[in-house]
């Protein structure tokens, strides 16, 4: 809809661009363009004069019921005929409304990638829902997307997990009087792993000075399965899992490439440094210790070399906000390896603060010292959790009270949106008609509130495009909530069944339901048909 209007303006005045925005005062129209301000610089006229000239030149009864000029802006009120044409097109497209053709662009989207040493917490949940919604939006817009989870299964954290299970088994299951090391992982899940490990390996595996290598791998695999199950319960399924450990056989070859590109040097203590400061980083970084063992950064370098070698047009990473400092050093390594670091896009996800009755949400015994994703998901439902986590920019702090998500009113946004969709479904049940019965209905002489709802429902296409372009799914949640508000108000102010406008109203509500259904689906939520 918006693109069709913009294209018409460009064609009529010979401009390469014609920005369209919503006027601050909706009484001026559906759209306004500030193009007169840019033309004033080249034509030597006042914007008001140019806007008035353009308003006359751009009159088109098929598209607009009115074109006016105000304070240098050209305002457009869309005609019923144009809105009806857009509605017919959207209803014909069905679930493809707002979609785009194949863009021939491959995107690798990596998110969550939590260490497999404990259950997912609510911080991971935010990144999970953010990444999944971006993937859904991108696919709807014609991009080829591969979702990927990077398993940090190399390094001390996996050894520490095995050590935690080992000591917990000796203390709790075998009753030994020894201290549980302070650095080990806490939580009921460690106790459960310890019990299962005893059944799996037997008591002999927990003797003093036992080799823990097999136990460490087993514990990591158990945690990874738990993580996958939690994600699956939230309807998040990854296309690919990549093991950090499996990539390390490439380390020596990558070191050699970095050496040839003057990217590294060795200091007097035999540490290997990446000269990342030459590529915009605040300082150089150690990538191999004195004994030659690679650092955490080395793993990221290997992984990103693997990403770029696979030939994606763009790689998108969603990281926790605490990883902000890693961006310049990783991009420096990418440049040294001969790739274009601009093809790597890193999005940050801030932490979440949960309240319950206004008080901090209590941490469960299962997870230890954090709030587990599955615990909150089981309490309020994953749909509610998804929606609320996507109501704000991912790089801003989010705080909410879980009790709000249990309410059945406008305070619970997902309930309110679902209720709008369910009301429309109920209406069509009462009408006893199919959506196809309204294909021939012509929308004309609409009351203002009906026209407003129709225009709002048609904006879905622009919202989808802008949500992905700006990487801000919260634009979609905000749109859906506002659309629900308009829907409920329309119901309150109008009688549909048996009215003179019954078929017109039904067609508009049919489109509204379609927009809600598609919007929720792109957030990973199935719209409810009954409440």
What residue has token string 């000239």?
53
pLDDT in tens, 363-414: 665 556 788 999 999 999 999 999 999 999 999 999 999 999 988 888 899 9
Query: Could you tell me which residue, 362 or 464, shows the higher pLDDT?
Result: 464
- Provide the pLDDT confidence category of residue 305 given band limits of 50, 70 and 90: very high
Whole-number Å distance between alpha carbons of 371 and 127: 15
Q: Which of 361, 362, 365 is nearest to 190 (CA)?
A: 365
144's enclosing H/E stretch is strand 144-151
Residue 292 has pLDDT above 60, yes or no: yes
Three-state SS at 334? helix
How many residues are given for the chain?
531
Whole-number Å distance between alpha carbons of 159 and 291: 19
Chain region(s) in the chain for CATH 1.10.730.10: 413-522
Chain region(s) in the chain for CATH 3.30.1360.70: 2-78
User: How many other CB atoms are found less than 10 A from the CB of residue 238?
Assistant: 22
Residue 415 exposed, middle or buried by CB count within 10 Å (0-12, 13-18, 19+): buried
Three-state SS at 423? helix
What residue has token string 């499996």?
246
Domain range 2-78, CATH architecture: 2-Layer Sandwich (3.30)
Cα 154–chain centre separation: 28
Residues in a beta bridge with 109? 147, 316
Phi, psi of 497 (to 5 degrees): -70, 125
Whole-number Å distance between alpha carbons of 393 and 476: 11
Whole-number Å distance between alpha carbons of 64 and 193: 67
Phi, psi of 360 (to 5 degrees): -55, 135
Q: Which two tokens stand for residue 493?
A: 């102010």
What residue has token string 């990638």?
113
User: How many other CB atoms are found less than 10 A from the CB of residue 62?
Assistant: 9
Confidence at residue 366, expressed as pLDDT on a 0 to 100 scale: 53
Q: Which of 82-91, 136-145, 370-379 has the lowest mean pLDDT?
A: 370-379
Yes or no: domain 413-522 corresponds to CATH 3.30.930.10: no
Rounding to the nearest 10 degrees, give the CA dihedral for residues 456, 462, 467, 469. -170
Whole-number Å distance between alpha carbons of 286 and 329: 10
pLDDT averaged over every residue in the chain? 95
Confidence at residue 15, expressed as pLDDT on a 0 to 100 scale: 86
């Amino acid at each position: 809809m918006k693109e069709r209007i913009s294209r018409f303006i460009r064609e009529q005045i010979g401009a390469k661009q014609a920005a369209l925005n919503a006027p601050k005062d909706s009484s001026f129209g559906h759209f306004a363009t500030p193009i007169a301000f840019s033309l004033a610089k080249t034509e030597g006229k006042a914007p008001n004069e140019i806007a008035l000239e353009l308003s006359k030149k751009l009159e088109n009864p098929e598209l607009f019921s009115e074109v006016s000029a105000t304070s240098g802006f050209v305002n457009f009120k869309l005609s019923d005929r144009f809105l009806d044409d857009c509605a017919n097109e959207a209803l014909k497209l069905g679930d493809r409304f707002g979609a785009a053709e194949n863009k021939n662009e491959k995107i690798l989207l990596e998110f969550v990638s939590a260490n497999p040493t404990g259950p997912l917490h609510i911080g991971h949940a935010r990144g999970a829902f953010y990444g999944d919604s971006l993937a859904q939006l991108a696919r709807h817009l014609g991009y080829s997307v591969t979702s990927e989870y990077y398993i940090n299964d190399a390094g001390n954290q996996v050894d520490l997990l095995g050590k935690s299970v080992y000591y917990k088994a000796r203390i709790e299951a075998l009753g030994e009087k020894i201290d549980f090391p302070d650095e080990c992982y806490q939580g009921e899940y460690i106790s459960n792993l310890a019990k299962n490990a005893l059944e799996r390996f037997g008591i002999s595996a927990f003797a003093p000075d036992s080799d823990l290598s097999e136990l460490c791998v087993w514990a990591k695999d158990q945690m990874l399965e738990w993580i996958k199950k939690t994600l699956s319960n939230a309807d998040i399924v990854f296309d690919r899992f990549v093991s950090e450990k499996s990539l390390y056989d490439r380390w020596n070859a990558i070191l050699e490439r970095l050496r040839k590109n003057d990217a590294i040097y060795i200091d007097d203590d035999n540490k290997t440094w990446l000269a990342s400061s030459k590529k915009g980083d605040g300082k150089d970084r150690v990538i191999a210790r004195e004994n030659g063992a690679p650092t955490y950064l080395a793993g990221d370098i290997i992984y990103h070399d693997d990403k770029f070698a696979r030939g994606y047009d763009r790689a998108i990473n969603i990281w926790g906000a605490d990883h902000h400092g890693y961006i310049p050093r990783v991009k420096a390594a990418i440049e040294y390896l001969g790739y274009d670091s601009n093809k790597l896009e890193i999005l940050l996800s801030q932490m979440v603060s949960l309240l319950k009755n206004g008080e901090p949400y209590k941490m469960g015994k299962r997870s230890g010292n954090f709030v587990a994703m599955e615990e909150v998901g089981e309490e309020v439902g994953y749909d509610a959790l998804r929606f609320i986590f996507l109501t704000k920019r991912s790089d801003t702090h989010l705080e909410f009270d879980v009790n709000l998500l249990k309410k059945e009113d406008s305070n619970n946004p997902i309930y309110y949106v679902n209720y709008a969709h369910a009301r429309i479904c109920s209406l069509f049940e009462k009408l006893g008609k199919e959506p196809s019965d309204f294909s021939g209905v012509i929308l004309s002489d609409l009351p203002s509130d009906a026209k407003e709802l129709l225009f709002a429902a048609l904006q879905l296409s622009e919202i989808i495009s802008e949500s992905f372009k700006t990487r801000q799914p919260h634009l979609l949640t905000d749109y859906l909530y506002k659309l629900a508000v308009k829907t409920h108000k329309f119901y309150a102010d109008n009688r549909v069944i048996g009215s003179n406008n019954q078929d017109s109203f039904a067609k508009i509500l049919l489109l509204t339901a379609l927009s809600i259904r598609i919007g929720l689906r792109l957030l990973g939520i199935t719209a409810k048909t009954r409440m």
